[in-house]
Amino acid sequence: MTPSPPAASKAAAAALKSTLPPLLLGTATFNTQYVPDPHALPYRSIVARAISLGVRGFDTSPYYGPSEILLGDALNALFTSPTHPLPRSDVFIVTKAGRIAGDEFDYSPAWVRYSIYRSLQRLHTQYLDLVYMHDVEFVSAQEVLAAVKELRRLRDEEGVVKHVGISGFPVKVLAELAEMILKETGEPLDAVLSYGHFTVQNRLLAVDELLGRRESKEKEEESVLKRFKKAGVEVILNASMLGMGLLTQKGIPPNPESKESPLVKWHPSPPELRIACKKLGELAAAKGERLESVAIRWALEEWARVGAEAGVGVDAGPGSSLKVGPTVCGVSSIPELEETVAEWNGVLEGLEKLATVEKKERRAYGSERQEKVLKLVEDEMWPALGGWIDFAWASPGEGYVNTRRPEDKGQVPDDGVIAAHEERIKNRK
């Protein structure tokens, strides 16, 4: 039996910087968008192996098909183990609300409330450590504001949410909404999840910081990270280091009729970008590397460094004085998980070594591996991308219309979710 939810008001909740794990397992891959049959994945083994490797954070969403259900089943098996039950407090569970399907969104307070209650059931927990409103660029700013307020009400009055944030693709939209929420409510967001915008191909989350730019009279626009910081956002997480499958040795076929990969059906990248990224795989292979290994290592270490320097990082571990920018990594197999964790451990080892060296004596990075990756990315991959460097597709795409009719917003299924939640509350009292 999982413990009762702790007091989760903003005043009572522990700082996210000290409780959010620096590396989280993303389970968007537990979905037909990435694999033909998610139920056939060894998802229980993946989650158990993540725990054994020290990965304590898990990120999911109702939009990711059966992801919440599969993750919840895997966690519940660990929570209820007859020999060594995993304490709920040992894991950090993150989910989202608001996105129902590809072009269907409902940010109404009633739907948000229903979605949270359903997530609690699916994930076999009485509280959620962090909840994002999912893909906020697809709805109006006022809808985002109303949804964030409802999440905070669930935090303060019901204790079922501990921290509140937003997620999305266009980083400038995320910054605008973070600024608006602080202005309208007087309270900043706890977290923002940015995906696909801090990769070998797309650096827009922190391109100014990476290239050493400074604001000037000639450059009037302030960096995105500085905007987030001014808006009071406590933590920024980077996700989709591989550009949702774009930065892999196999790549994504440019032909939209290809049946070689399930990503062809939905991935928004144009054919020319897919071809450009395929060339990056050739450059990696020429150095005895796989593109995904290079892309993962570069994003992990660079975001660990840049996120910390920008003041939006977290503790590298319990009680650690080292700060790092946190990352969500998606995997669909144990070898992929082990590779990512090995790269992450290398990142931490290098950063810890740097922390003990006098600043004036420091090398650019803390390990030969990272220096090799950095040289390959900066000297060969970025020039090879040409005009496709920092390209980001439009989100929403042209012609987007929310298929959720206005009159249907706030209409929740009569499936027993709310009644079951009310019963749990009654029994708890």
pLDDT band at 7 (very low <50, low <70, confident <90, very high): very low
CA distance 146 to 80: 37
The values of phi and psi at residue 37, to 5°, are -140, 95
**pLDDT surpasses 80 at 270:** yes
Annotate 373-403 with b (16+ C-beta within 10 A) or e (fewer).
bbebbeebbbeebeebbebbeeebeeeeebe
Token pair of 134 as six digits? 């999912």
**Residues 253-278, mean pLDDT to the nearest whole number:** 92
In the set 34, 43, 63, 64, the catalytic residue is 64
Is-contact 185 35, C-beta < 8 A?
no
Q: How many CA atoms lie within 13 A of 423 on its CB side?
A: 6
Q: Per-residue pLDDT tens for 374-385?
A: 999 999 999 999
**pLDDT surpasses 80 at 364:** no
Beta bridge partners of 314: 324
pLDDT band at 220 (very low <50, low <70, confident <90, very high): low
CA distance 351 to 354: 5
**pLDDT surpasses 60 at 429:** yes
Specify the pLDDT at position 8: 45
Specify the pLDDT at position 260: 84
Rounded (10°) CA dihedral 179, 182, 185, 191: 100
**pLDDT surpasses 50 at 313:** yes
Q: Which residues, 6 or more positions from 402, have their beta carbon under 8 angstroms from its beta carbon? A: 103, 104, 105, 138, 139
Residue 398 resides in a domain: no
Picking from 260, 235, 272, the residue whose alpha carbon sits closest to that of residue 94 is 235
Give the CA radius of gyration of the chain.
Answer: 21
Question: Among the listed ranges 33-37, 124-128, 284-288, 334-338, which one has the minimum average pLDDT value?
Answer: 33-37
Q: What percent of the chain has pLDDT over 90?
A: 82
Q: Per-residue pLDDT tens for 73-112?
A: 999 999 999 999 999 999 999 999 999 999 999 999 999 9
SS3 per residue for the chain: CCCCCCCCCCCCCCCHHHHCCCEEEECCCCCCCCCCCHHHCCHHHHHHHHHHCCCCEEECCCCCCCHHHHHHHHHHHHHCCCCCCCCHHHCEEEEEECEEECCEECCCHHHHHHHHHHHHHHCCCCCECEEEECCHHHCCHHHHHHHHHHHHHHHHHHCCECCEEEEECCHHHHHHHHHHHHHHHCCCCCEEEEECCCCCCCCCCCHHHHHCCCCCCCCCCCCHHHHHHHCCCCEEEEECCCCCCCCCCCCCCCCCCCCCCHHHHCCCCCHHHHHHHHHHHHHHHHCCCCHHHHHHHHHHHHHHHHHHHCCCCEECCCCCCCEECCEEEECCCHHHHHHHHHHHHHHHHHHHHHHCCCHHHCCCCCCHHHHHHHHHHHHHHHHHHHHHCCCCCCCCCCCCCCCCCHHHCCCCCCCCHHHHHHHHHHHHC
**pLDDT surpasses 50 at 32:** yes
Region of 96 (left: φ > 0; alpha: ψ -120 to 50; beta: rest) is beta
Token pair of 344 as six digits? 């992450």
More confident of the two residues 138 and 214: 138
Q: Per-residue pLDDT tens for 225-254?
A: 999 999 999 999 999 999 999 999 999 999
pLDDT band at 207 (very low <50, low <70, confident <90, very high): very high
Residue type, 265: K
**pLDDT surpasses 60 at 68:** yes
Residue 178 resides in a domain: yes
The boundaries of the domain holding residue 328 are 16-392+418-428
Residue 64 resides in a domain: yes
Do you know the residue count of the chain? 429
Rounded (10°) CA dihedral 183, 185, 191, 196: -50
Token pair of 6 as six digits? 């702790």
pLDDT band at 423 (very low <50, low <70, confident <90, very high): confident
Residue 144 resides in a domain: yes
Specify the pLDDT at position 358: 53
pLDDT band at 425 (very low <50, low <70, confident <90, very high): confident
Is-contact 320 54, C-beta < 8 A?
no
Report the domain count for the chain.
1
**Residues 298-316, mean pLDDT to the nearest whole number:** 97
- Residue 376 belongs to domain with CATH number: 3.20.20.100
Residue 153 burial (10 A CB sphere; 0-12, 13-18, 19+)? middle
Specify the pLDDT at position 214: 58
**pLDDT surpasses 60 at 218:** no
Specify the pLDDT at position 219: 56
Q: Is 64 an annotated catalytic residue?
A: yes
Residue 401 resides in a domain: no
Specify the pLDDT at position 4: 44
What is the C-alpha end-to-end distance of the chain, expressed in Å? 16
Residue 232 resides in a domain: yes
Residue 256 resides in a domain: yes
pTM score, two decimals? 0.93
Beta bridge partners of 57: 24, 92
**Residues 42-66, mean pLDDT to the nearest whole number:** 98
Q: How many CB atoms lie within 10 A of CB 252?
A: 24
Q: Which residues, 6 or more positions from 257, have their beta carbon under 8 angstroms from its beta carbon? A: 264
